[in-house]
Structure formats: structure tokens, C-alpha cells
Amino acid sequence: MEKNTDKGNPFGAHRVIEPKGVLPQPAQKLDNSMDRIWDNEILVDVEVLNVDSASFTQIKEEANGDEKVIADIILKTVAERGKQHNPVTGSGGMFIGTVNKVGAALKNRDLKKGDQIASLVSLSLTPLHIEKILKVKKEIDQVVIKGKAILFESAIYAKLPNDMPAGLALAALDVAGAPAQAARLAKKGDTVAILGATGKSGILCAWALREKIGNEGRIIGLGHSAEKCKLLESLSLCDEVIAINATDALECHKTVSQLTHDKMANLVINCVNIPNTEMASILMCQEEGTVYFFSMATSFTKAALGAEGVGKDISMIIGNGYARGHADLTLSILRKSKTIRELYEKLYA
């Protein structure tokens, strides 16, 4: 590595080992050495990895739920790639940790050694070194570690709030892009269908959508298990809550068609963490409507060619994990909604 008095590429290209010429996210391997940092990097002592839902689901399936095997898979990925970049799903997650050092070129930032922060960029582009995995929390997609990570000059992060547990903030911030984008896309009077509405991002989307469309619009929440659907119903965010298989496109189409008298949904939000839910989302959407794919299990090919194959003229948006103000909006949901906060504290804190 070059002298730590040098300034690296603001997007982190200087950390790419292979292939040269690409940015850190699509790279196959990053330089994750932590002995010295560049002037425009931030060194963080990492405490918890929040692996994204699609990635962790795939890892759990590969490991048959064995926590030791899950840890071994993650260690192997980081050792080979220099980052937690799932080779199957292509996704990562985020972390919380304590700032160890701020590069000289970033001294003007409101950040200092000892600050607790959550990264708001994917682990799939974050140089990471794991010294030891201390605990695997497979029910909430989190891994407690002793390790270090690098944030680049262009990276976004949030200081952890002092009015809620770090685990709670981490779980919510991991999906902060979803409710912010959902609210941005919705209009008064819209009928919105949320696929994966009973999950972490789905519930936050339902809250943000209800705030945006009020009682003039309609929210249809579709979840996998009857038990989780009952929990969603208790939050009083959706007008209808349906337990359904998100990979059964025809059943999803039939259900929403019956509920809307064949009008279908103006906006469909896909928060599902498993593959093959593209066609269900497309068929639930009305002509010239919008589908927002927040799920990292989404296949661009299946979505694009599938919509073409059924003759659907719709807009399809790839979920961007970043939206301006998304961290503040998501944390505000936990502050405003006592029921959601209590639920998330029980599940994630």
C-alpha cells in the first residue's frame, strides 16, 4: 500500500485489487489491509455486521442453519474478497462500529475518534477485516465480530442515536432506503401492494406509505406466514393483509385482482428476500403503474423480459439503498410509532 500521506480515489478505486479499472462494489477482491489508511479514509472498529436479508437467507440455506457453518462461510468470503460480498446474491449489508481514525483530508467532517456510527453503504463495497466472529444471530441476520472496516470519502454513514439501542438502530437503518423511496413514489389516492409486507422493510414501508397517502389511498399487505400477517394486522397500517406465496405469480395476480375489482395496484413495492418474485410484482401492477424492487434477490433479466412477455407497460425501479434524508426518516418512524418500536426492540435490540 502507498504512503498514508496520500489521498486515495474518493470512490475507493485505490483499494481494488482485481479486476483493475472497476469500482469497489463489482470488484472481485479488495485490499482490506488496516495497518495504515489513506488521508481520505475512515478506519472503524466494527462490532456488528447486519447482513442483508437476501444474502443471509442464502447463507443460512447453504449452511443448513448451522451457526458455525454460517460463520465459516462469512469468514471465507471476507478472506477471499476482502469484503462481505455474497458471491451468490451479489449483496452485502452494513455495520455498526466505533471510529478509530479519521484521515487527515476528512478532518473537517463532524466525526471524531470514539463516535459510534452505522455505515449506510453496502458491505459488498466495504474493505473489511474480521479478526474473530463472536456470535451469529441467525434469527435477525446479524453477526457480532471483532474486526475493522474502511469507509471511503464518498461513503455515507449515520451517527448512532442516543435514544435507542444500537441493535435497533442498525436493523432499521439497514433498510432505510425502502420507506423513503416508497413514500417518494406514492401519491394520494393510490392503491399500493407491498410484497413482503410482514418483514423489516415491509413494515417500515407500510408506515411511510400510510403517512403519505392517508386514508384516501389503499394499502394491501402481502406476507408469507399467517402468524406474521396477524402481527402486521395488529399494527393497523394496511387495509388488507393477505398470507400468500410470493413466488406464485398467478395466485398473487388473482388475489389483487379480486381485491381491486380488476384495477390492480398503482404501485407495487417488493421487499421479499427470496428469488422468483418478479412476475408476481409485475402482474399485480396496473398498466402504466410502477413496481419498486427493493429486494436484493431481484433478477433484472427476469423482471425486464417477464414484463415484456406478458405485455405489461409499467415502470420498474431498482431499489436504491440511499435516498436523501433516509436515515432521519427511518429513525423518526421508530420515534413516532410506539407499536413498531416495541416490535423492533423485541426482535432486533
| Each residue's pLDDT tens digit, 140-176 | 999 999 999 999 999 999 999 999 998 889 889 989 9
Helix (H, G, I), strand (E, B) or coil at 79: helix
Average pLDDT over residues 188-206: 96
Average pLDDT over residues 56-71: 96
Average pLDDT over residues 262-282: 96
Do 192 and 186 contact (CB within 8 A), yes or no? yes
Relative to beta strand 128-137, strand 218-223 is unpaired
DSSP string, 167-192: HHHHHHHTTTHHHHHHHHH--TT-EE
Name the band, by pLDDT with cuts 50, 70 and 90, for residue 348.
Answer: confident
Q: What is the pLDDT of residue 347?
A: 85
Distance CA 169, CA 141 (A): 14
Average pLDDT over residues 254-275: 96
Quick one: CA dihedral 112, 115, 119, 123, positive or negative?
positive
Distance CA 313, CA 310 (A): 9
Average pLDDT over residues 118-138: 97
**Grid cell for residue 275:** 428469488
Q: Which domains does the chain have, with CATH numbers?
A: 13-160 (no CATH), 177-343 (3.40.50.720)
Output the CA–CA distances (angstroms, integers) from residue 121 to 61, 75, 214, 313, 320, in the order listed. 25, 20, 31, 32, 11
Distance CA 279, CA 285 (A): 10
Q: Cis peptide leading into 275, omega within 30 of 0?
A: no
Q: What is the pLDDT of residue 2?
A: 43
Q: Dump pLDDT digits (tens) for 274-319.
A: 999 999 999 999 999 999 999 888 999 999 999 999 999 999 999 8
Helix (H, G, I), strand (E, B) or coil at 103: coil
Distance CA 76, CA 78 (A): 6
Total-model pTM: 0.86
Percent with pLDDT over 70 in the chain: 99
Going by C-alpha positions, the residue among 343, 113, 77, 95 that lies closest to residue 236 is 343
Quick one: CA dihedral 16, 20, 24, 28, positive or negative?
negative
pLDDT at 5 over 60: no
Instruction: For residue 195, give the DSSP letter.
Output: E
At residue 330, what is the residue type? T
pLDDT at 3 over 60: no
Distance CA 127, CA 84 (A): 8
